[in-house]
Amino acid sequence: MSETALATPEFSAAGRPAGRLRRRNWPAIIAWAVVLLILVLLPLYLPPGLLSAGQYVMVGAVGAIGLTLVFGQAGQLSLAHAFFLLVGGTAYSVLAGETTQAGAERIVGFGWPPLLALIGAVVITALFGLAFAPVAGRLKGIYLGIASLALVYIGFYLGRALPALTGGASSGRNPEPFSLFGFPFTNEGDIALFGVPLRQPERLWYLFLVVLVIGYLLAAGAMRGRVGRAWRAVRDHEAAAAAMGVNVLRAKAVAFAVSAAYAGLAGVLLVLWYGLLKPDESEFGNYGLNTSIAFLAMVLIGGLGSIPGAVAGALIVWGSQQILTLFAADLGLGTALSGFSPTVISLYVYGLAVIAVVLFEPGGLAAIGRNTVAALRGRRRSDMDSSGASGRRSAPPGKDGK
Amino acid sequence: MLSVCGLSVRYGRAVRALENVDLEVGDDAVLAVLGGNGAGKSTLLRTISGTLRLHRGAVTAGQVILDDQRIDRLDPAAIVRRGAVAVPEGRQIFARMSVEENLRAGGLGAASAAVRRTARDRVHELFPVLAERAKQRAGLLSGGEQQMLAIGRALMSGPRLLLLDEPSLGLAPQLVGRIASIIAEIHVQGTAVVLVEQNATMALQVADHAVVLEVGRVALTGPADRLAASDDVQRLYLGGHAESDAQADAEVRAAQTSATGVRGLSRWAG
């Protein structure tokens, strides 16, 4: 059993002495640095249309990270993501906006600084998620999904019934543009990077990028820590998790609150991106069933429970929609009016992607990525030392990403 | 350490799983709970560990006391924090996680990081195989290794009372012996054990006291060696109806000869 013998030193290096620093994975760190550098430089080259598409993808990625935590890590199906998006967007608009009179309607606003309003919106959405948690204590699987779907329809109703907050379903309300310590994320003022003027699209890109990176790191930390371990224990075997001291109800509640917080954050970004908060009248709007399903598709395509997978899923699902819309004319697709609009076509695109994932690689893009990395590593090792490669390959992926 | 007084448990309205059960576990003792299928052994363990509600059962009378405190109304996490942890029937390891992740998950119930560290060293001493296979998927372990993982995972919270539900289930006789010696070792290290078993021979070897349950009631109780010697237990649970060792040996020999008399497996030549 050379395999066992090989595994032992690796274990004692990584696992045994608590507190010793882990060996750093330089190739991965370099790869991430390159990706970040590209994302930082992209706005200098991309036209506004593609920049806007990229921002939309980042919004989707933030929301999808939230869903992959609650569904992939904690095993709780939630179709309420669109509702939490609406709550987040509304909370930001109310907290940051000014009270105005629009016709007969008095629209309420507190005029908080935008950063404070953003944080407030995230907290409020998390509380909404927490309020839903007791339902998760009673229902499982698809039943929980259906129950959470009810929230989307409650959102429809509230959006119409509370025009003082949402501006009403017909006109909506304009959210306060984001600004940070007096620096506006609009076209005001002149700044430039390498001679390229940074206007609203570029500034929003950087804002969204920073938010996404922070959200990504926090989620990765939660997943690696005790919270994530409790989630996975609950997901894999509720009774066993309870028997060894995991508070199952609390773990589920935390998962829902965290997931809702991410959705709320995505909701804030979405109103900033759109420049408008407009609750829906049908399930095809920004906060309808379709949006919930789109998020579900993102985490399925990306691989359940995988954070990089969620980001990649957002790129495919919301990215394809934006790209198809942008290049509708070039691709010879009809206009939005002709039934087969780019949005509808993108539904087919990611629908097919979901089917392909289910058929060929249930682990999604995350599993494909892991296998590729393992294969690359295996080959590199086999160049140096063939026995090392066999030991590596026979061991299944260490981190439970699925 | 643990005392159960007048405990009655029902599932739904109809099924009476336990009826007026009393038992005691000393600070440094191993109690074997014996009985056939449906005797209420697992229910007893579920009640002590607080997981009864997950199985839709309810305590209708009596109480469970751990260190002078009632625990029958606490949730499982609180009971683990108080130092009683269960290894559920059928192991219930997290098959998709690695061995190390399973152990770490077991540490979620631990009181502090220091407790976790000590517990981890102890688990690795007891089960070197778990250290060797740390990165392996738990679902790929053999049955015996999975049982060791389940016990190790429970030990990760540093319990003072370990509740084991049929650890010998589905294991080869040799492995049953291994598990028995491990339980003895855990006991020597100062952890009290409640051992629910159908394998009475093994349980009575390890335990110092034993309780026999029959359809939810305590039928017999006493020191393990006395129970092992008693005719009732011999007849009912040790598979013996022999009057003496000599007769038992004779029967075993008779069985062996008759077994060799049966046509054995042969290679198909045609």
pLDDT digits (tens, 9 = 90+) for A35-63: 999 998 888 888 888 899 999 999 999 99
pLDDT band at B266 (very low <50, low <70, confident <90, very high): low
Size of interface A-B (CB pairs under 8 A): 115
What integer pLDDT is reported at residue B220 of this predicted model? Answer: 85
Q: Is the pLDDT of residue A89 over 50?
A: yes
Beta pairing class for B192-197 and B15-25: unpaired
Q: Is the pLDDT of residue A83 over 90?
A: yes
Which neighbouring-strand residues pair with B34?
B197, B212
- What is the C-alpha separation between A241 and A75, in angstroms, rounded? 13
What integer pLDDT is reported at residue A380 of this predicted model? Answer: 61
Residues of A in contact with B100 (CB under 8 A): 11, 15, 398
pLDDT band at A238 (very low <50, low <70, confident <90, very high): confident
Angle at B21 between CA B19 and CA B22, to 5 degrees: 160
For an interface test with A, the pick among B74, B98, B149 (most A C-beta atoms closer than 10 Å) comes out as B98
Q: In terms of CA atoms, which chain B residue is nearest residue A394? A: B136
For residue B238, what is the DSSP state? S
Among A13-17, A27-31, A243-247, A279-283, name the one with the lowest average pLDDT.
A13-17
CA distance B117 to chain A (A): 8
Q: If residue B33 lies in a helix (H) or strand (E), which one and from where to where?
A: strand B30-34
Whether B109 and A246 lie within 8 Å, measured CB to CB: yes
Tell me the C-alpha to C-alpha distance, in Å, between residue A350 and each of A60, A65, A222, B2, B116.
Answer: 14, 18, 29, 57, 45
Give backbone dihedrals phi and psi of B10, rounded to 5 degrees, phi first: -130, 150
- What is the C-alpha separation between A270 and A299, in angstroms, rounded? 19
Tell me the C-alpha to C-alpha distance, in Å, between residue A382 and each of A369, A373, A379.
Answer: 20, 14, 5
pLDDT digits (tens, 9 = 90+) for B145-164: 999 999 999 999 889 999 99
Report which of residues A296 and A344 the model is more confident about: A296
pLDDT band at B258 (very low <50, low <70, confident <90, very high): low
AA letter at A26? W
pLDDT digits (tens, 9 = 90+) for A217-232: 999 999 999 999 999 9
- Here the tokens at position B248 are 């038992």
Whether B100 and A15 lie within 8 Å, measured CB to CB: yes
Whether A243 and B88 lie within 8 Å, measured CB to CB: yes
- Here the tokens at position A394 are 């026979």
Residues of B in contact with A244 (CB under 8 A): 80, 85-86, 105-106, 108-109, 153-154, 156-157
Q: Which residues of A186-211 are buried (b: 16+ CB within 10 A; e: fewer)?
A: eeeeeeeeeeeebbbbbbbbebbbeb
- Within-domain flag for A293: no
What integer pLDDT is reported at residue B64 of this predicted model? Answer: 92
- 3-class DSSP state for residue A192? strand
- Here the tokens at position B181 are 């010696």
Sign, CA dihedral B37-B40-B41-B42, equals positive
Residue with structure tokens 């056939």?
Answer: B36
User: Taking the mean position of all CA atoms in its chain, how far away is CA A227?
Assistant: 18
Picking from B95, B97, B108, the nearest residue to A230 by CB comes out as: B108
Q: Is the pLDDT of residue A2 over 80?
A: no
Nearest 10 degrees: CA dihedral of A288, A293, A296, A301?
A: -140
pLDDT digits (tens, 9 = 90+) for B132-150: 999 999 989 988 899 999 9
pLDDT digits (tens, 9 = 90+) for B101-142: 999 998 888 878 888 888 999 999 999 999 999 999 998 998
Residue A137 touches chain B, beta carbons under 8 Å = no
Residues of B in contact with A12 (CB under 8 A): 131
- Here the tokens at position B144 are 């015996």
Among A108-112, A132-136, A333-337, name the one with the lowest average pLDDT.
A333-337
- What is the C-alpha separation between B156 and A243, in angstroms, rounded? 13
Beta pairing class for B2-11 and B209-214: unpaired
Picking from B51, B95, B135, the nearest residue to A242 by CB comes out as: B51
- Here the tokens at position A129 are 């998620």
- Within-domain flag for A101: yes
The architecture of the domain spanning B1-83+163-169+196-251 is 3-Layer(aba) Sandwich (3.40)
pLDDT digits (tens, 9 = 90+) for B57-115: 899 999 999 998 999 888 888 899 889 999 988 878 898 889 999 999 988 888 788 88
Report which of residues B242 and B13 the model is more confident about: B13
Q: In terms of CA atoms, which chain A residue is nearest residue B95? A: A236
Whether A245 and B132 lie within 8 Å, measured CB to CB: no
User: Taking the mean position of all CA atoms in its chain, how far away is CA B93?
Assistant: 15
What integer pLDDT is reported at residue B270 of this predicted model? Answer: 52
- Here the tokens at position A354 are 């979901």
- Tell me the residues of chain A between 218 and 237 that have a Cβ less than 8 Å away from chain B: 226, 229-230, 232-233, 236-237
Number of domains composing chain A: 1
Tell me the C-alpha to C-alpha distance, in Å, between residue B214 and each of A38, B162, B211.
Answer: 71, 23, 10
Residues of A in contact with B113 (CB under 8 A): 18
Which neighbouring-strand residues pair with A277?
A173
pLDDT digits (tens, 9 = 90+) for A5-30: 333 333 333 344 444 455 678 888 89
Domain boundaries, chain B: 1-83+163-169+196-251
Q: In terms of residue numbers, what domain contains A73?
A: 46-287
Question: For residue A291, which of A81, A124, A28 has the smallest C-alpha distance?
Answer: A81
Burial class (CB in 10 A: 0-12, 13-18, 19+), B14: exposed
Which neighbouring-strand residues pair with B24?
B3
Q: If residue A203 lies in a helix (H) or strand (E), which one and from where to where?
A: helix A200-224
The pTM assigned to this predicted structure is 0.81
AA letter at B267? R
- What is the C-alpha separation between B232 and B228, in angstroms, rounded? 9
% of chain A exceeding 70 in pLDDT: 85
Report which of residues A260 and B239 the model is more confident about: A260
For an interface test with B, the pick among A2, A244, A400 (most B C-beta atoms closer than 10 Å) comes out as A244
